[in-house]
Amino acid sequence: FQIKDVRSIVREALEKRLLQQEIRGPIFCFVGPPGTGKTSLGKSIAQALERKFVRISLAGMKDEAEIRGHPRTYVAAMPGRIIREIRRVGSINPVFMLDEVDKIGQDFRGDPASALLEVLDPEQNADFTDYYLDTPFDLSKIMFITTANIIDPIPDPLLDRMETLYFSGYTDQEKEKIAFRFIIPREIKENGLSLNPPKFTVEAVYKIIQEYTREAGLRGLEREIASVCRKIAREIVKHNKRFGEDIIVTPELVRKYLGPRKFYYEVAEAKDRVGVATGLVWTETGGDIIFVEATKMKGKMKLILTGSLGNVMQESAQAALSYVRSNADSFHIPADFFDHHDIHVHVPAGAIPKDGPSAGITIALALISLLTERPAKREVGMTGELTLSGRVLPVGGIKEKILAARRAGVKTVILPGKNKADVEDLSEDIRKGLEIILIDKIEDIVDLVLR
């Protein structure tokens, strides 16, 4: 599902390796939100190559000796995790998955990320030296795959040694197909319902997807379906129901078992307000929407920023305000307004850290809405970096942001014109029901966004 590009790149690399055995294969880095199939694809590659599969998690690893091993003079010395896992599976050429490479730690005991440079460098790993073995060991026959949710924390020298492949989130239609083909049969089997399996209706599965989960991947959906199956098994035992009776899982039964809905379509159910604009953002768990709020008060030209904003996002807000001030005449804002007022910009939720330049046009539209007293349309979502001259620069994570817009009930999505290629790569299922507008300058959308 939606990993054709990933599969083709992996296939090309493996076919090249088969044709010329002396060529060392690439080292892949699978990047994407949780639950999008990164580990599953690694297992499938090992199965297709008829190799052993090894997986270790690097999350929180802070000791360099976990990779290189301890010298034998140390008490309780042992080889590093790489050598230990090779010995455990009894194979010199397994598919080796290094999970959560973006969450490696660092302290006084060394830097594991630097130790990985030798492991993941095709030019060096043929002579990898573990301190415990104290002799070169050939790792070049191993196919290494790393996984990460985001690439920003990965050191550049380490990232340079890997070929990055991006995994995007799933649409509701894809989740429904995966649920019926894989998740539901597995949960029925694991909960002892195989003799007379409950029959899930399409409406019930969509209800779970849309009202009880909000994610790019599938883990939440899997948990909710497992919860329904457990409650069905409990009812069978509690009421001594016979296995001959058909059990149909309807939306009403889902509501009974899972309780009140957990997620609502914020945009579809909200009212337009002055000084509030809808933005689209990308996080390590997929796309999401934010509401940028702006208000004014008596003061002396001060800009207040709240909402756990990072340095880049704070600078985006300052650039947006400077753009609005420099173009005050075109927006019919009094020239002396800023001399007697403070501006406060807030991005809920305040406890969640936020950063990045892609909220630039959202902040600018919230400010223009506030100062012109024209409410912004909540069903219009936007993303893009703003310059002082009003140009809109391209941003990343377009597919995840559009999926988030669909989940939240956004009807119109505004994107930078230079992201046109990203939009053309999207399938019709993703774009269906959305009006996507590409812009190069922010003044092109002021009348479109504001009432």
Please give the Cα distance from 326 to 394 (Å, whole number).
Answer: 23
The stretch 409-438 carries a mean pLDDT of 87
- Give the residue among 351, 365, 372, 284 at the shortest CA–CA distance from 323: 365
Integer distance in angstroms from the first to the last C-alpha of the chain?
A: 40
CA distances to 173, 229, 369, 400, 408 from 267, in Å: 21, 32, 17, 17, 6
Neighbours of 102 (CB within 10 A): 20
The stretch 369-378 carries a mean pLDDT of 89
pLDDT for residue 243 is more than 70: no
> Would strands 143-148 and 28-31 be described as parallel, antiparallel, or unpaired?
parallel
pLDDT confidence of residue 230: 93
Please give the Cα distance from 451 to 446 (Å, whole number).
Answer: 9
User: Domains along the chain?
Assistant: 4-166 (3.40.50.300), 172-258 (1.10.8.60), 266-449 (3.30.230.10)
Burial 158-168 (b: 16+ CB within 10 A, else e): bbebbeebbbb
Cβ–Cβ under 8 Å, residues 39 and 83: no
pLDDT per position as a tens digit, 284-298: 667 788 889 999 888
- Give the residue among 154, 125, 164 at the shortest CA–CA distance from 141: 125
Helix (H) or strand (E) holding 303: strand 303-306
Residue 120, C-beta contacts closer than 8 angstroms, at least 6 positions apart = 27, 144, 146, 158, 161, 162
pLDDT per position as a tens digit, 110-131: 778 888 888 888 788 888 888 8
pLDDT for residue 2 is more than 60: no
- Give the bridge partners for 326, in sequence order: none
284 vs 316, which has greater pLDDT?
A: 316
pLDDT per position as a tens digit, 190-206: 988 888 889 999 999 99
Which tokens belong to 315?
């600078």
Confidence of residue 362 (pLDDT cuts 50, 70, 90): very high
Burial 270-304 (b: 16+ CB within 10 A, else e): beeebbbbbbbbbbebbbbbbbbbbebeeeeeebe
Distance of CA 411 to the CA centre of its chain: 22
- Give the residue among 144, 163, 166 at the shortest CA–CA distance from 51: 144
pLDDT confidence of residue 366: 92
pLDDT confidence of residue 403: 84
Least confident of 16-20, 210-214, 314-318: 16-20
Secondary structure letter of residue 126 according to DSSP? G
Residue 299, C-beta contacts closer than 8 angstroms, at least 6 positions apart = 340, 341, 342
pLDDT for residue 268 is more than 60: no
The stretch 12-23 carries a mean pLDDT of 60
The stretch 95-117 carries a mean pLDDT of 83
pLDDT confidence of residue 133: 86
% of residues, the chain, pLDDT over 70? 91
Is it true that the peptide bond before 349 is cis, omega within 30 degrees of 0? yes
- Strand stretches in 58-101, DSSP E: 95-99
pLDDT for residue 19 is more than 70: no
pLDDT for residue 3 is more than 70: no
pLDDT for residue 20 is more than 70: no
Q: Is 321 exposed, middle or buried (0-12, 13-18, 19+ CB in 10 A)?
A: buried
Instruction: Look over the chain and give the mean of its residue pLDDT values, rounded to a whole number.
Output: 85
pLDDT per position as a tens digit, 72-91: 888 888 898 999 999 999 98
* Residues designated as active site: 358, 401
The stretch 137-158 carries a mean pLDDT of 88
Secondary structure letter of residue 271 according to DSSP? P
Least confident of 3-7, 299-303, 380-384: 3-7
Confidence of residue 180 (pLDDT cuts 50, 70, 90): very high
Q: Is 41 exposed, middle or buried (0-12, 13-18, 19+ CB in 10 A)?
A: buried
% of residues, the chain, pLDDT over 90? 23
Cβ–Cβ under 8 Å, residues 449 and 367: no
List, as own/partner pairs, every contact residues 348-355 make where C-beta atoms lie below 8 angstroms and the sequence separation is at least 24, other chains included.
348/290, 348/291, 348/293, 348/307, 349/307, 350/306, 350/307, 350/308, 351/308, 352/308, 353/308, 353/310, 354/281, 354/290, 354/307, 354/308, 354/309, 354/310, 354/313, 355/309, 355/310, 355/311, 355/312, 355/313
